[in-house]
Every structure is written in C-alpha cells, then in structure tokens.
Amino acid sequence: MGVFKMPSLGADMDDGKLIEWLVAPGDTVTRGDVVAVVETQKGAIEIEIFEDGVVERIDAALGGTFPVGAPLAVIRGAGAPQDVAASPQPAPAPKVKPAPPIPAPPSVAAKSGDFRASPAARARAAELGIDLSNVSGTGPEAAIVLADVDRAAPGSRKPAKQGLDLDAMRTAIAAAMTRSKHEIPHYYLEHEIDLQTADDWLRARNADRPPEGRILMGTLFVKAMALAAAKVTGMNGQYVDGVFQSSQTVNAGVAVALRGGGLIAPALMDAAALPLDQVMAAMRDLVKRARTGRLKGSEMTDGTITLSSLGETGVDGMTAVIYPPQVAIVAFGTPRPVPRVVDGAVLARLCAHVTLAADHRVSDGRRGAKFLKEIDTLLQSPEDL
C-alpha cells in the first residue's frame, strides 16, 4: 500500500486546500495521471500521481486545508490484493476544519456515453440538474471538472475559484525569497548580448506567418539558456539536503506575470530537446494555464533553472533571486538599440543586458562566465537553435 500525500509545490508552500478529486475509490491510476486539484497561493494546481495502482480509499475531504506531507489517499500497488485493513499514518489535523465525510463518489469514467467527469463535477451537476452530456470538459483528457459545471450553471451561480489572493501570494513569494537569500550564497555576473542577428532572423522567419505561428524573442532566450545549461556543468539541477543533484533534462522555469499582479514560474519540461516551434507553443500554453490557475504539480516542482525576461517594459536589467532548490536564474532586460563597434565601425545594434545569479556552493564565477558566453554564442546563430 502506498500513501498519496499533500505534495510540496514549491519553496513557498506550507499547505494546500483540496478543492477537487478527479478519481474515486476503485479507480485505476497510472504514473503521471492528474488525480486531484489543490489550491495554493499561486492558484489551482493539478496534482499528479507518481505510482501505478488502484485508489484503495480517499481519506481527505474536499474543502480541507492540509500541510505538506499530510496523507490524502491510499493507493494499492498494481497487482496487489485488496487489503481493507491497511491504514496509513494518521494525518496531521488540517488548519481549516474539513467538510464532513461524504459517501464515496462514483468513478470518473462515465457509465454511459463517451465523456469523463470528476466526482465533484458529477455531484454538482446532480445538485443543479445539469446534463453532463451538454458540458464541455477542460480537465485531463477533456474530463469535465467542477469549474466546467459551474460555468454551465444557469443564473448567477459562480465557480468556486474566483481568482488569486495576491496578498497571500506576495507573502509566500517574500518568504521563499528570504529563505533563498539566507541559505544560498549568491554570486552575480552581467553581460551584454548583441541580438541584432537574432532579431533579423526572427523578422525574416515570421514575415509570412500568421500571428499564432510566429516565434517571439523570448523563445530564443529560453532555448539558448536551456542548451547552455545542458552543456555547462553546475547550472542545471537542484540542491537538496546539502547535495547538488544534476539533471539530465533541462526543465526551464519561465517567469509569468499574472494579471492583476503576482509572479509564477512553471517549468517547461525538457526545453533543450524541443524545436523552437514547440518551445513557443509550450510557452503559450504555460502562460495561458498559469493565468487561469490550472498548472500541474510537476511544473511547479521539477524546474532545474529559471529565466525571467522583462520583455518590453523598458528596463535595462535586473538582479534576480534564485528560486530554491534550483541553483541558477537568468534575467534578460529589455532589448534596445545601442552603439557597438562592428568590423571597425560604430553601428546601432539591438542588445540586451543579461544577469546570472548562481549558487556558489555548486559553481563559481569562471563557470558562470562560461555559461553566459555560451548563451551569447548560441544567440548569434538562431537558425541552429
């Protein structure tokens, strides 16, 4: 028997509110399946399971706020016999008294028709008298989730999730950054990168493409950073329990500014291996889901290096703070024309100020300089990214 626990979704998370189960007792689950939705200071996060098996029972009631590590459900391993006597360790008391226990909900899979729906969605639909066959699903594999039913409800009924608590988010971010500055010996390097060649290439490439098919400069930044991180030792991975764990893949965190304020940096998985078009599509998807509060837990925990770009804000640069347990973060300022000497002539070239903040326990200034120079070199040949 395995115990499915409240996961840690980042250095700034102490607890989470369970707002939806996407499975029920008796359901078969596979590693990577989304099984629940947890509300944190950074929105509603879809929680994945990391083992194959069958949901033996659900111990955590919807509406409860549980600390990281609290047992939520019992998972019976694939092929293991049912053990009704199995019992996990007692769960720590939730900070908010959970709703009273309710009978086990029906399976996610529909008994008729070819649509899927979560137990919470089915219960809400029954309460409101809504025919689920007329509701479009936005959950995993187009499953109908609670928010879909609320949107389909007649009258003025509103979804339970009405937006982020920005004050709580800023408090959580401040706590994580305080921890980072206290625990991580930061060092900083700055560099100016000539982006004129990259800009010319992008303009030519995008000229005959519709807006949805165009690549933005930020895509080149992410891909170049990912390739450089894969090549230069000490930039890609996580520092956990006093040991640096290098990662075989580059899961590039992308800082996303949320509407109304706040910041979140979900990870773009295996970014170094993706073609530019896929990087652009994945970034658009991440931004959309970050701003609607529908990210996956792995996207919040598996990042190995982060990029923050100031875009068109007009600010030359910034000194970023490493997001633990990562060991490096790269910040790009706003690209702007500056005078540079090219082949003996002073020309106006589009350039950007780039700053690296890195963990001195894992790398040093010489290694960091090699990393920044590699990003520069890669951006001079955008067609090869």
Per-residue pLDDT tens over the stretch 176-216: 889 899 999 999 999 999 999 999 999 999 999 998 899 99
Q: Are residues 143 and 175 in the same domain?
A: no
In the predicted model, what is the mean pLDDT of residues 337-361?
95
Residue 165, pLDDT > 90, answer: no
Who wins on pLDDT, 21 or 78? Answer: 21
Report whether 80 contacts 43 (CB < 8 A).
no
Q: Are residues 295 and 359 in the same domain?
A: yes
CATH number of residue 47's parent domain: 2.40.50.100
Measured N-to-C along each axis, helices 276-291 and 217-231 cross at an angle, to the nearest 10 degrees, of 110
| Residue 34 covered by a domain | yes
Q: Are residues 99 and 229 in the same domain?
A: no
Within a 10 A sphere around the Cβ of 82, how many other Cβ atoms?
10
| Residue 160 covered by a domain | no
Question: 160 falls in which pLDDT band (50, 70, 90)?
Answer: very low
User: Which of 102-106, 340-344, 358-362 has the highest average model confidence (pLDDT)?
Assistant: 358-362
Q: What is the pLDDT of residue 109?
A: 38
Count of structural domains, the chain: 2
Please tell me the least confidently modeled range out of 68-82, 204-218, 239-253, 318-332.
68-82
Q: Are residues 98 and 173 in the same domain?
A: no
CATH number of residue 192's parent domain: 3.30.559.10
Complete DSSP assignment for 73-101? EEEEETTPPP-TT--PPPPPPPSBPPPPP
Q: Are residues 142 and 175 in the same domain?
A: no
Q: What is the pLDDT of residue 112?
A: 36
8-state DSSP, 240: E
Q: Are residues 86 and 209 in the same domain?
A: no
Per-residue pLDDT tens over the stretch 223-262: 999 999 999 999 999 999 999 999 999 999 999 987 767 7
| Residue 162 covered by a domain | no
8-state DSSP, 117: B
| Residue 77 covered by a domain | yes
Which residues, listed in sequence order, are joined to residue 18 by a DSSP beta bridge? 38
Q: Are residues 314 and 205 in the same domain?
A: yes
Q: Are residues 102 and 203 in the same domain?
A: no
Ordered alpha helix ranges (H), 65-184:
119-128, 146-152, 166-183
Q: Are residues 239 and 126 in the same domain?
A: no
Q: How far apart are CA 245 and CA 236, in angstroms?
A: 9
pTM: 0.73
Q: What is the pLDDT of residue 126?
A: 78
Among 84, 119, 152, identify where a domain stops.
152
Q: Are residues 226 and 279 in the same domain?
A: yes
In the predicted model, what is the mean pLDDT of residues 118-142?
76
| Residue 157 covered by a domain | no
| Residue 358 covered by a domain | yes
Q: Are residues 349 and 241 in the same domain?
A: yes
In the predicted model, what is the mean pLDDT of residues 326-355?
95
Residue 90, pLDDT > 70, answer: no
Q: What is the pLDDT of residue 91?
A: 45
Give the CA-trace dihedral at 378, 379, 380, 384, to 10 degrees: 60
Q: Are residues 199 and 328 in the same domain?
A: yes
Please tell me the least confidently modeled range out of 93-107, 294-308, 360-374.
93-107
| Residue 297 covered by a domain | yes
Q: What is the pLDDT of residue 352?
A: 96
Among 108, 125, 152, identify where a domain stops.
152
Q: What is the pLDDT of residue 140?
A: 62
> Under the phi-then-psi rule, with left for phi > 0, alpha for psi from -120 to 50, and beta for the rest, what region is 6?
beta
Structural domain boundaries enclosing 362: 168-384
User: Which of 4-8, 137-141, 264-268, 368-372 has the highest average model confidence (pLDDT)?
Assistant: 368-372
Per-residue pLDDT tens over the stretch 12-32: 778 889 988 988 899 999 988
Among 96, 125, 152, identify where a domain stops.
152
| Residue 223 covered by a domain | yes
Residue 87, pLDDT > 50, answer: no
